[in-house]
Chain A
Amino acid sequence: MLLRPGRRSRGGAGLSGLAAGAWCLLAATATHAGGAWVPARGLNYVELSTTYASTDLRYDAAGSPAPFERLGPGSPRTTYRDFGLHLYGEAGLGRGFGIEGDVTWRSARALEPATIFRTNGPADARLQLKRGFRAGSILWAVSVEGRFPMGYDAADYPSLGSGHTDAGANLHVGSGNRVGYVTGEIGILKRGGPERDEWPYAVQAGLNLTRTLQLIGDARGHGVFGNISDAAGAGAAFDPQTASSRLTMVGPGAAYAPVSGLRISANAWRSVAGANVPRGWMWKFGVARTR
């Protein structure tokens, strides 16, 4: 069952850790690894999820809350909506190695009083290779990953992504037992475009309320190397996908496993700090098959 640690992952922390680590990967932020748990050879995890955010607020380049105005102060107020459909999978390769990846279909909209901007289509794909280790009750892993645009035009507003290939490396640490689990990760992400490089991070804890129900708390985001400027202030349109940014968001979540091999999860994040990113809530609903 979902919340039982033990037999399914290489490190022995179990499906609870695997699933809990995995469901947070589609947070539409730079950090997205499945935690320190690496599936044993032949095991896999597949999740289909949606994310949704709608806001007319943002953090400006200095980190101050500001209206979401596409062309900067004084321009029409913009409501930014971002819907994502994500397919995520991870599989054990044996010898402590695992591979994971995701693809996203995204629908981004910017609504202004007189204009609607729409962009739909495949966004970015991500592929990560991970190697897990164990030190007593602590699991840890290192991973390298690449993120690739899937054919969209980053010049379209709003963009579906940066339009560049990014590369990153992460360190994951976690531990779990019958009561719950804790996992954290930190990494670096080398941006392929003009955006500043980032250091993504995440901390997540899960509490097993019953054998089938799990309560989750999550904090995640990404910092940035160097200073960032306000693209909109220079006269260009502000687009979260193409701007250098930083972000911190926190939120609750819950996971439910009605039957073996099925996991349903929902959670929400609220941005609490950032720069050049939308400000507000983001929602996620996911259905996963574990094996």
Chain B
Amino acid sequence: MTFRMRGRAARWSLLGLGAWAAAAGCGHSVEPRAPYQAADRLPVPSDLRVGLTLGGDVLLTWRASAGDRAVVDGWIVERRRSTESDFVSVGPALVRDTTYLDNTIGDGERAAYRVRAITGAGLASLPAESNLIRSDRFGPSAPTGLTVAPLSAALRISFVASPEPDVQLYLVRLEAQNGSEPPRDGSTLASPDTVSGLTPGIAYGVTVTAVDSAGRVSFPPGTPVVGVPGP
């Protein structure tokens, strides 16, 4: 009787554990955990900054505290070109560091960026959004057709403007051919322009280069154009 009872108890125990295991179920789930169950509960990336690298790529940086990092797996980066209406993800599905380099944007394109924190459950925070930034991978072409006309103690400089739309100004350099004066550097916003205060009778070699919005400078023309200010 004792053995029978023990066997019965063992069988019921086995059945009970088996039923419990079955009730606990089989499967896989990934769920957000309180209190991080909504986007507005997740830490938003702070101090989002965008800038251009020397190569013209767009570099994004943002900040995350140790507390933020304890909650989120990383961040996702979204981009909206000025010609587009919606933000779309760029780069990897998960950015683990607080920097991202966008090297897929084309030269001259303007885009705004969003960065969202994302948890292991795939829940994304509200975004931090940047201003529009324009990618600039190439310097402007040099102005052409440079001509110099003598005026009284001055030179009138004319040239054909560079075609790039983001040219901001032109650098003008005058070098005395006889070496009697140090080079004179100036700038102008457009052609033509007049450089005054020159010494009559001295031959000046004139070069003009273009500068774009990213600070890139065009290659200078090969040979300076010489002009001699009048008396």
Real binding pair: yes
- Report which A residues bind B (CB closer than 8 A): 48, 70-71, 74-77, 85, 87, 105, 107, 111-122, 153, 156-157, 235, 259, 261-262, 287, 289
Structural contact, A287 and B10, CB atoms closer than 8 A: yes
Structural contact, A111 and B33, CB atoms closer than 8 A: yes
Chain A residues lying within 8 Å of B2, measured Cβ to Cβ, are 259
Chain B residues lying within 8 Å of A287, measured Cβ to Cβ, are 10, 13
User: Which single member of A71, A107, A122, A153 contacts B73 (CB below 8 Å)?
Assistant: A71
* A289 to B, closest residue via Cβ: B10
* A262 to B, closest residue via Cβ: B6
- Report which B residues bind A (CB closer than 8 A): 2-3, 6, 10, 13-14, 17, 21, 24-33, 36, 42, 69-74, 96, 119-121, 123
Instruction: Determine the distance from Cα of A67 to Cα of B144 in the docked complex, in whole angstroms.
Output: 64
Instruction: Determine the distance from Cα of A55 to Cα of B222 in the docked complex, in whole angstroms.
Output: 71
The tally of CB-CB contacts under 8 A between chains A and B is 89
Structural contact, A121 and B26, CB atoms closer than 8 A: yes
Structural contact, A113 and B36, CB atoms closer than 8 A: yes
Known: A105-B21, A118-B29, A121-B27. A48 touches B6 (CB 8 A): no
- Write the nearest CB–CB distance from B173 to chain A, whole angstroms: 51
Instruction: Determine the distance from Cα of A79 to Cα of B105 in the docked complex, in whole angstroms.
Output: 40
Structural contact, A259 and B71, CB atoms closer than 8 A: no
Structural contact, B25 and A114, CB atoms closer than 8 A: no
- Write the nearest CB–CB distance from A213 to chain B, whole angstroms: 19
Structural contact, A117 and B30, CB atoms closer than 8 A: yes
Chain A residues lying within 8 Å of B33, measured Cβ to Cβ, are 111-116
Known: A75-B73, A76-B70. A114 touches B121 (CB 8 A): yes
Structural contact, A75 and B69, CB atoms closer than 8 A: yes
* A74 to B, closest residue via Cβ: B69
Structural contact, A76 and B120, CB atoms closer than 8 A: yes
* B21 to A, closest residue via Cβ: A105
- Write the nearest CB–CB distance from A73 to chain B, whole angstroms: 10
Known: A48-B14, A122-B26, A262-B6. A114 touches B21 (CB 8 A): no
Between A and B, 9 residue pairs with Cβ closer than 8 Å are A71-B74, A107-B24, A111-B33, A113-B33, A114-B123, A115-B119, A117-B29, A119-B27, A156-B28
Chain B residues lying within 8 Å of A120, measured Cβ to Cβ, are 24-28
